[in-house]
Amino acid sequence: MISQDILVVGGGLAGLAAALSCDPNLKVAVVSKVHPLRSHSVAAQGGINAALGNNPDGRDDSWERHAFDTIKGSDYLADQDIAQLMCQKAVSAIYELEYLGVPFSRFPGGVIAQRPFGGAGFPRTCYAADRTGLVILHTLFEQSIKKQVKFYNEWLVTRLVVKDGKCLGVVVYDLATGQIMPVRARAVIFATGGYGRVYSRTTNAYINHGSGIGIAYKAGVPLRDMEFVQFHPTSLHGKNILITEGARGEGGYLINNKGKRFMEDYAPSAMELAPRDIVARAIQTEIDKGNGFDKQYVHLELSHIGEEKIKKRLPGIREICINFAAIDPVDTPIPIQPAQHYSMGGIDVNEKCASLVEGFFAAGECACVGVHGANRLGGNSLLDTVVFGKISGEEASIYVKGSEGTDSSEKVLLEEALEVKAGIEEWEKRSSGERVHRLLEGLKVVMSEDVGIFRKKEDLTEALEKISELKEDYRRVYLHGKCLRYSQELVNIIEFDSMLDLAEVITLGALKREETRGSHYRLDFKKRNDKDWLKHTLVTCKEGKPQISYAGVNISKYKPEARKY
Amino acid sequence: MEYLFKILRYDPLKDEYPYFQDFSFETNEKKSILEALMDIRNEQDSTLAFRYSCREAICGSCAMVLNGSFDLACRTELQALESSPIVIEPLPNLEIQKDLVVDMEPFWEALSQIKPYLFHGEKIQEGGHRIEEKEMEKIFQYINCIMCGCCYSVCPVVSRDERYLGAAALAKLYRFVKDPRDKRSFSSLSGVNTEGGVWGCDTVFRCNEVCPKEVRPADGIEALRRKLVVEKIKRFFRFRR
């Protein structure tokens, strides 16, 4: 049996940062369902926040201001001590990335360039044109080659094995051979990313099914604040490819069909650079009022910032527009609409990225450390991945060195692997039943129509019913293509189980939370209610059913106040 | 509108030879080849294997040969391929693992051979390196590379000489050589001063033609050659003196 001291699951930014920060004397490996460079981190565009104060308009910036903006942006649901920790570590994190080779864009004088981003009091988003995710992911992958990190690519983790509150390892499906195998590990770090594909319209990659979060949930780890789903204001109409917030940071305007910069009605001082929840709602409101184009989108106007700046600062956006919409933003406005983008919630972990299961850690989008609260600021997710990815690797190393292996783990792992195998054989044996891609289409419709930007009790209740019907249908799912090697159908069947759980947890949290906060907007409860709802939602899987509880928020420094932009 | 797809199928554990399978595909929507492949897989044959992830031409997963052209399936519009049928093949120069999925291992191995990472100083400099934008701009062309493998697969040298590292790896090396922060020594380039390295290139520039990200990797190979020659001449005269 393959056996590791630390097993990192996921080869995106958080996963690579974790693997690189593990104690080099330990036996560490990364398992990823795709080659690490194919991870969704590669698609991040606009940048990464740190209060370097390099921008002439940002000389007075400080990590405290960054922390305040993050907390205010979170609609005060962020844990303030942890948000401060992240922002304090941001500056050294950027210099470390630069040292490792990230080719950041520069200002005259040769310092790292910084652009304005939504919800930020100062221009503090460091960038490499609009390919920040690409260059950071490639740099960390290059470092993994240098450090000879062991990778198991195209292995899908199907189960987290936990016994008596202690993590023993995982069960994987090896796509190349079609085999199911147990992998023993004294510590496991999940860095498995988000679940965007639960929604019809998402900026996320096809692979973002969120099964890591679902697997942790099934293993008994609580999920936190899952009802907070970020919708990005600007995705390319039709394809829903991300059009970076950096486009507005560089001076882009949002224009409705009356030719008006409508953000003045919603956020008169921040305008297009209000936080994402506010801008996304504004755009959807304009479209719903009939002020959009073809009832589906508004315009993101860039032509006034000039050809030179577009080509230099936003070359990737221009390429996307030319490739996928056959327009050139140099002279034509970009048709944009909101789309699901990010999960503020995730696997409940503390500031050490540790969960309540001993030896099980999580970092990046799949985790909820508590820095984003009810709404994440643009440029804070890459920061989250590198800061907490690193912490998770360091903490997992400390844990492994201070713990003892479990003798019985091999037997338990083998048993669980056999269970997974039996499940797959059952799907394979059936010659009729439900097809997974149809079930997935059904789930996407439910989530988009009933658990989207605007929510209300009737819709959410109905969504829960439909999800439980889909759960029934899933019991009859079958594998149509009878070959287990490179079977994306099998990947989808395995991951859909998690997607159903996530949909249920998101919807349940949203139904119970009778207030409006950050990305969670209730048409029937339009006000924030700190008295009753300034608390985290926790959902735990108990005998297959979600059990909801609540936990306090750390409010050590900034008293919640009205959020105006 | 109805399209005829001819897709190369091959399962090395079952089939003696690769073969083309016909699929008829109907749609009136604007779709990419990747979307069409996913529909065909879902509706017609779910054993059809191919790689994908981002669907926005940035992750490099879905490179394949489309009607003889090397490109990413996600950024190629169905309507843009005028000829019928639409012939889809896996990347050549790499072993087929199943259908359109190829073994990229030799490609990654070549990359790791050139030491594809910044040779940085001992300590992190406070405030980071000070580098003017126009200096950094010299490497921008090369950092656009998404490691899709098109250049490796189209290369006639790779197909006949297994020592040859291929364009992506060599262009990546040049990205570091040109990086003003990189401290690698000239002697560390001796590994590519060979037929398996920069001198293997046939200069037919097929890599430049097919690169979906306009990296023009052969520019990097030629620049490395010049650098090696110039340094050699310089050293020769230094020695004479």
Whole-Å CA distances, A441 to A343, A389, A426, A435, A561: 20, 33, 23, 10, 41
Whether B11 and chain A come into contact, CB under 8 Å, resolves to yes
Whole-angstrom Cα Rg for chain B: 21
Burial B150-166 (b: 16+ CB within 10 A, else e): bbbbbbebbeeeeebbb
Strands A155-163 and A166-174: antiparallel
The reply to whether residue B58 touches residue A35, judged by beta carbons under 8 angstroms, is: no
Residue A406 has pLDDT above 80, yes or no: no
Element (H, E) at A338: strand A334-343
Kindly report the CATH class assigned to A430-548: mainly alpha
Angle at A204 between CA A199 and CA A205, to 5 degrees: 115
Angle at A354 between CA A350 and CA A357, to 5 degrees: 120
Any catalytic annotation for residue A438? no
SS (H, E, C) A74-127: CCCCCCHHHHHHHHHHHHHHHHHHHHHCCCCCECCCCCECEECCCCCCCCCEEC
Peptide bond into A36 cis (omega under 30): no
Q: Are B110 and B166 a contacting pair, CB within 8 Å?
A: yes
Going by pLDDT thresholds of 50, 70 and 90, the confidence category of residue A408 is confident
Whole-angstrom Cα distance, residue B33 to residue B86?
10
Q: What are the DSSP calls for A527-547, one per residue?
A: S--HHHH-EEEEEEEETTEEE
pLDDT, tens only, B59-79: 999 999 999 999 999 999 998
Residues 100-129, chain B: which have Cβ within 8 Å of A?
A: 101, 104, 108, 111-112, 115-118, 120, 124-129
A233-337 folds as Flavocytochrome C3; Chain A, domain 1 (3.90.700)
Question: CA of A164 to nearest chain B CA: how many angstroms apart?
Answer: 37
The reply to whether residue A38 touches residue B144, judged by beta carbons under 8 angstroms, is: no
Question: CA of A346 to nearest chain B CA: how many angstroms apart?
Answer: 22
- Residue matched to tokens 């988003």: A125
What percentage of chain A carries pLDDT values higher than 90?
99
Q: Are A259 and A294 a contacting pair, CB within 8 Å?
A: no
Suggest the residue from A147, A319, A341 to mutate for an interface test with chain B (most B CBs closer than 10 A). A319
The reply to whether residue B11 touches residue A131, judged by beta carbons under 8 angstroms, is: no
Instruction: Search chain B and give the residue with CA nearest A142.
Output: B117
A1-44+144-193+206-221+351-405 folds as FAD/NAD(P)-binding domain (3.50.50)
pLDDT, tens only, B157-202: 999 999 999 999 999 999 999 999 999 999 899 999 999 999 999 9
- Residue matched to tokens 């291929």: B166
The closest of A323, A318, A142 to A246, measured between CA atoms, is A318
Residues of A with Cβ-Cβ distance to B13 under 8 angstroms: 485
Whole-Å CA distances, A348 to A208, A353, A367, B4: 19, 9, 6, 49
**Residue from A131, A201, A248, A276 carrying the catalytic annotation:** A276
Among candidates A110, A486, A489 on the partner chain, residue whose Cβ is nearest the Cβ of B98: A486
Among candidates A109, A145, A480 on the partner chain, residue whose Cβ is nearest the Cβ of B46: A480
Which residues is B65 bridged to in the sheet?
B70, B89
Q: Are A342 and A44 a contacting pair, CB within 8 Å?
A: no
pLDDT, tens only, A96-147: 999 999 999 999 999 999 999 999 999 999 999 999 999 999 999 999 999 9
Question: CA of B52 to nearest chain A CA: how many angstroms apart?
Answer: 7
Among candidates A96, A207, A481 on the partner chain, residue whose Cβ is nearest the Cβ of B53: A207
SS (H, E, C) A150-213: EEEECEEEEEEEEECCEEEEEEEEECCCCEEEEEEEEEEEECCCCCHHHCCCECCCCCCCCHHH
The reply to whether residue A105 touches residue B133, judged by beta carbons under 8 angstroms, is: yes
Going by pLDDT thresholds of 50, 70 and 90, the confidence category of residue B126 is confident
Tell me the torsion sign for CA atoms A518, A524, A530, A536.
negative
Residues of B with Cβ-Cβ distance to A94 under 8 angstroms: 128
Q: What is the pLDDT of residue A456?
A: 98
What percentage of chain B carries pLDDT values higher than 70?
99
- Please classify residue A416 by burial: count the beta carbons closer than 10 Å to its beta carbon, then call 0-12 exposed, 13-18 middle and 19+ buried: buried
Residues of B with Cβ-Cβ distance to A479 under 8 angstroms: 46
A118 Cα distance to chain centroid: 18
Query: Residue ranges per domain, chain B?
Result: 2-102, 105-240
The reply to whether residue A319 touches residue B57, judged by beta carbons under 8 angstroms, is: yes
The CATH classification number of B2-102 equals 3.10.20.30
Tell me the torsion sign for CA atoms A504, A159, A9, A550.
positive
A414 Cα distance to chain centroid: 32
Residue A384 has pLDDT above 80, yes or no: yes
Q: Return the axis-axis angle of helices B105-113 and B167-177, rounded to nearest 10°.
A: 30
- Residue matched to tokens 């499940």: A423
Whole-angstrom Cα distance, residue A45 to residue A369?
23
Q: What is the pLDDT of residue B81?
A: 82
The reply to whether residue B128 touches residue A37, judged by beta carbons under 8 angstroms, is: no
Residue A400 has pLDDT above 80, yes or no: yes
Residues 182-211, chain B: which have Cβ within 8 Å of A?
A: none
Average pLDDT over residues A85-96: 98
Give the pTM. Answer: 0.97
- Residue A187: left (phi > 0), alpha (psi -120 to 50), or beta? beta
Q: What is the pLDDT of residue A33?
A: 98
Between chain A and chain B, the number of residue pairs with CB atoms below 8 A apart is 159
The closest of B150, B138, B134 to B66, measured between CA atoms, is B150
Give me the half-sphere count of Cα atoms (radius 13 Å) on the Cβ side of residue A503: 36
What percentage of chain A carries pLDDT values higher than 70?
100
Residue A374 has pLDDT above 90, yes or no: yes
Whole-angstrom Cα distance, residue A510 to residue A458?
12
The reply to whether residue A42 touches residue B146, judged by beta carbons under 8 angstroms, is: yes
Whole-angstrom Cα distance, residue A187 to residue A114?
37
What are the structure tokens assigned to A457, written together?
């009790």
Strand order in the sheet with A298-301: A229-236, A334-343, A298-301, A253-255
The closest of A223, A182, A206, A213 to A38, measured between CA atoms, is A206
Collect all residues with Cβ–Cβ distance below 8 Å to A29 and sequence separation of at least 6: A2, A4, A6, A7, A8, A149, A150, A151, A152
Q: What is the pLDDT of residue B235?
A: 84
Residues of B with Cβ-Cβ distance to A35 under 8 angstroms: 61, 104, 108
Average pLDDT over residues A553-558: 97
Torsion (CA) A347, A352, A355, A360 in degrees, nearest 10: 100
Average pLDDT over residues A319-346: 97
The reply to whether residue A40 touches residue B117, judged by beta carbons under 8 angstroms, is: no
Residues of A with Cβ-Cβ distance to B212 under 8 angstroms: none
What are the helix (H) ranges across A402-487?
409-429, 436-450, 457-474
The reply to whether residue A146 touches residue B117, judged by beta carbons under 8 angstroms, is: yes
A485: helix, coil or strand? coil
The beta strand positions in A196-264, using DSSP E, are 223-224, 229-236, 253-255
Among candidates B11, B46, B139 on the partner chain, residue whose Cβ is nearest the Cβ of A103: B139
Q: What does pLDDT average to over chain A?
A: 97
The reply to whether residue A206 touches residue B143, judged by beta carbons under 8 angstroms, is: no
Query: Residue ranges per domain, chain A?
Result: 1-44+144-193+206-221+351-405, 45-131, 233-337, 430-548
A344: helix, coil or strand? coil
What percentage of chain B carries pLDDT values higher than 90?
88
The reply to whether residue A142 touches residue B13, judged by beta carbons under 8 angstroms, is: no
N residues, chain B: 241
Among candidates B97, B140, B146 on the partner chain, residue whose Cβ is nearest the Cβ of A486: B97
Question: CA of B132 to nearest chain A CA: how many angstroms apart?
Answer: 4
The CATH classification number of B105-240 equals 1.10.1060.10
Residue B241 has pLDDT above 70, yes or no: no
pLDDT, tens only, A520-552: 999 999 999 999 999 999 999 999 999 999 999
Whole-angstrom Cα distance, residue A42 to residue A136?
8
The reply to whether residue B54 touches residue A100, judged by beta carbons under 8 angstroms, is: no
